[in-house]
Amino acid sequence: MVSVDTTEIPGLLVVHLDLHGDNRGWFKENWQRSKMTALGLPDFGPVQNNVSFNADAGTIRGIHAEPWDKFVSVAAGRAFGAWVDLREGESFGRTFWIELNPETAVFVPRGVANSFQVLEDRTAYSYLVNAHWRADATYTNVNLLDPALAIPWPAEIAEMSEKDKGHPLLADVTPMPAKQTVVIGANGQLGRAMRKARPDLTFYDRSTVDLADPSTLDAVPWDDVQTIINAAAYTNVDGAETPEGRRDAWAVNVTGVAALARIAIERGLTLVNVSSDYVFDGTVEEHPTDEPLSPLGVYGQTKAAGEAVTSTVPRHYIVRTSWVIGDGKNFVETMRRLARDGVSPSVVDDQIGRLTHADDLAAGILRLLDDRAPFGVHHVTGPGEPRSWADIAREVFAEEGRDPGDVTGVSTEEYAAGKPTAPRPRHSALLLP
């Protein structure tokens, strides 16, 4: 029966395989996705199988940390395997070793350095990897014979490459950094909030990556990425109803998201896509995550289509939010300006929802990732009871020392009279956990 053991190195797993033998030889399932993922192995998506044939016992290879995951085993013969954690973090420098035979395999996560010494002539060492080999890949290496590692190589060294002899000692190794989380749309309200919360992430603004032109995604070094947070969107709700705006909204919110989804699927990445209360028609007071989508206008239709595209990614988060305010032009800032300028505005009082500060939205997205929340749809909005736009405007006026009564509540129809406006949901509140 297949079983899995953990080791002192986080993520490095020893797999005990079933070997079925008879007078002809033996057979084994070296990698069986459904069985092994059920036992806790990562669904790491191997794309290439390599075999290292070693003619003489005592041959030694390593120690190499590669920018991809590996699943190593022996197809014939025996080997002594040794691993060193060369990733950034508290486990840097930890070691583990074990003898490998056809009944034993090891899952080696990215950044954990791999090495082996064959114990029998004509040993075939096999390994699956989840990225295609490329000449420009950056390896992090450490010397096989570094006394600080204290690896008990069991046999006299018969063959060792000059390159392996020249690898640095552990004390001189620069750790391999973790894969990146990239944020698309760095200059928007959410993008700025994400940068404030996590400046260590990698940010791309529209000058480098523009979802209206998916070819610009080639500027991202995807081999170094683990998670994509899409904070970019076309958000001009009324403008989306015009011929030009309709094309732009579909280009950014759907075609651009589809390009991100393809990249995420091909590379096994996590995709976070931010959606909107506008995917609903507003006929219920609070919208649950599983409510069927029913957008009223073009903007909502593009966000709904973007959700459908995002849902095809195995590792995805659709984060619905509402009425976002942050660093930049937004409703609250407009009301503050009007209050200070002595204006008494008319504000819609029959659209009900919750304000969401961009800082809170950023924190909610990061919490989903840090907590490894279940993939799927999540609602992240501001707290409290739903209110109308007019209620919020009156609160802002009071904060600015103006009489809240200076804000006049009007219906959506009254406000939209004579203006080119998009249909909007009357109830925008999203049901929160």
CB-based contact 19:30 (threshold 8 Å): no
Of 64, 316, 378, 427, the active-site residue reads 64
Query: What is the spatial distance between Cα 204 and Cα 225, in angstroms, rounded to a whole number?
Result: 13
Whether residue 317 lies in the annotated active site: no
Is residue 301 within 8 A of residue 338, CB to CB? The reply is: no
Q: Please return the burial class of 403, using the count of CB atoms within 10 Å of its CB with bins 0-12, 13-18 and 19+.
A: exposed
For residue 430, which amino acid is it?
Answer: L
Question: What residues form DSSP beta bridges with 410?
Answer: 348
- DSSP strand E in 237-383: where? 270-276, 316-321, 324-325, 346-348, 352-353, 356-357, 376-379
Cα gap 234→245, rounded to integer Å = 9
Q: Is 6 exposed, middle or buried (0-12, 13-18, 19+ CB in 10 A)?
A: exposed
Distance CA 168, CA 141 (A): 7
CA distances from 260 to 235, 248, 255, 276 (A): 18, 17, 9, 18
125, 127, 278, 317: the active-site residue: 127
What is the Cα Rg of the chain in Å?
A: 28
Q: How far apart are CA 15 and CA 43, in angstroms?
A: 14
Task: Decide: 218 and 209 in contact? Cβ < 8 Å.
Answer: no
| 127 has catalytic annotation | yes
**For residue 249, which amino acid is it?**
A
27 DSSP β-pair partners:
20
Nearest-angstrom CA–CA distance, 188 and 296 = 25
Give the catalytic positions in this structure: 64, 127
